[in-house]
Structure 1
Amino acid sequence: MAKIGVFVGTVFGGAEEVAEEVTRFLVGSGHQAELFLESSLEEFLAYQQDIALVITSTTGQGEIPDNLLPLFLALNDTFPMLPQLRYGVVAMGDSSYGEDRFCGAGRQFDTLLQELQARPMVERLDVDASVNFDALEVVMPWLKSWAKQADAA
């Protein structure tokens, strides 16, 4: 089974709750999964031969939450090439704030990871709070498909 780091960006706790449930599912499926709420560059890079899952809400004008921003900036500043890293992104947002801001944090993280040559396992999941009040109703089916890719590793 796979070694998976779950890196969370949260403002009001919604993304954290989703990440906790996701981590429970992954561990229950036999994976070695660890949740990071205040992650460092070193903790993220420890997964560069494995799998990273970024679960983040979006704040303000489509920005990355304060607890995940230091990791994003460190990756962007040091720009380590990560061709062995496989990853997934769950982007949480609200489309009523406008298309250019919707899921902005997850979109930014996905773009950066691709620039670092990391390999997405499946397409990023954008969760719209104005459509899906319970994010897990959308995340869990996506996660099961995503986890099959991790099983194939």
Structure 2
Amino acid sequence: MKKVNLVFGTVYGGAQFVAETLQQALIELGRDAVLYQPEQLSGFVPPEDELLLLVCSTTGQGDLPEDIQPWFNEMQSKAPYLPNLKFGLIALGDSSYETYCGAGEQLLNLFEELGAKLLGEFLKIDAGETMEPEVEALTWLPSWNKLIDTELAA
């Protein structure tokens, strides 16, 4: 089974909790799932024979949280070509703002520029609609997990 690397960016811990919840769920589904803490990201380039699952909250005017910004900048400046990388993306935000899930949009644009392919739906979780983003993420996860196996068989 393909390994899933989880990377999160958080301000108040919500995205981290979602990522931790998804890691546990993936393990229960029989996947090898590794959660990277922000301080472990320096020099980390997602291996193309593994999957990447990004979970990120949005802060300020559609900005990335401070904890993931250095890695984002590093990936942007190194610009590794990752045409075989498949990734999932979950963004947390508040739809009452114009920049709803702006950090997720930045991550999507970056990884698509690097040649990576978004696997499945870009999940946007609205803080104005749900107090438990992990529940919405867990509802999304089975279809994403199934796509992994479908992609591998293709």
TM-score, normalised to structure 2's length? 0.92
Corresponding position of 1:140:
138
Q: Which residue of 2 aligns with 1:10?
A: 10
Aligned-residue offset at 1:40: 2.2
1:59 aligns with 2:29: no
| Matching residue of 2:107 | 109
**1:2-151 map, 5 Å:** 2-38=2-38, 39-43=40-44, 45-96=45-96, 98-99=97-98, 101-151=99-149
For residue 135 of structure 1, what is the amino acid of its counterpart? P
Structure 1 SS opposite 2:43: helix
Corresponding residue pairs, total: 150
CA distance in 1, matches of 2:90, 2:82: 19
Instruction: Report the aligned-residue RMSD.
Output: 1.2
Q: What 5-or-longer segments of structure 2 have no aligned partner?
A: none
Q: Does the 8 Å contact 2:17/2:134 carry over to 1?
A: no
How far does the alpha carbon of each residue in 1:33-72 deviate from its partner, in whole angstroms, 9 at most, with x for none?
A: 10012142532x2422211000000111110011111111
Structure 1, gaps ≥5 residues long: none
Report the Cα distance in structure 2 between the residues aligned to 1:124 and 1:64, rounded to whole angstroms: 16
Instruction: Tell me, yes or no, if the aligned pair for 2:93 and 2:101 is still in contact at 8 Å.
Output: yes
Identity of aligned residues (%): 37
